[in-house]
Structure 1
């Protein structure tokens, strides 16, 4: 079973995201900021990370730069899930190592399609 880490400071977003990815067959854990996300990755590297941009303690961009600076941190597929829709934010995220960028609010169909494109969700688990 694939493992997904949700890194977002919003408890509501984490809950909704968890329900979506669990319904797609993923095992899920959560982190409330980038620093907690780094610790979660050190404990067990996920297959997929859903990542918010704006968070206290450590934002998503800083988390991604730190994650990708480690050899094992090259493995997870990282999907930025954020309200930041400026081209500069998207470009910076992709340059820092994000695999995909999804605008909030997103739904199961959108997330399933992105995860299929990234090769971490089989067609049989889609909507």
Structure 2
């Protein structure tokens, strides 16, 4: 599979899982982007890539009081966006008709990487 162009992170289907990747080489770019979008107030510099990556993973996997993580909340936001944009592959639970499973076209799962 050809790797998509990466600008700090991407999602792809690998086997039977959706995998989200943030290459370590792009962590500074990602945190610069957060600063540029006023998500964080003060610009930060990654000084220890391995330590930063451990802390990033810890934060992504940290559970809130109701047991959800940032990954759950990210998926929830993606689901809402999919519903609002009329994405294919799912329907209202009460009216949906089951369909046979088919192999996933991996090329179509990587989104717009332009």
TM-score (norm 1): 0.24
Q: TM-score, normalised by structure 2?
A: 0.26
Structure having the higher strand fraction is: 1
Q: Which has the higher helix share?
A: 1
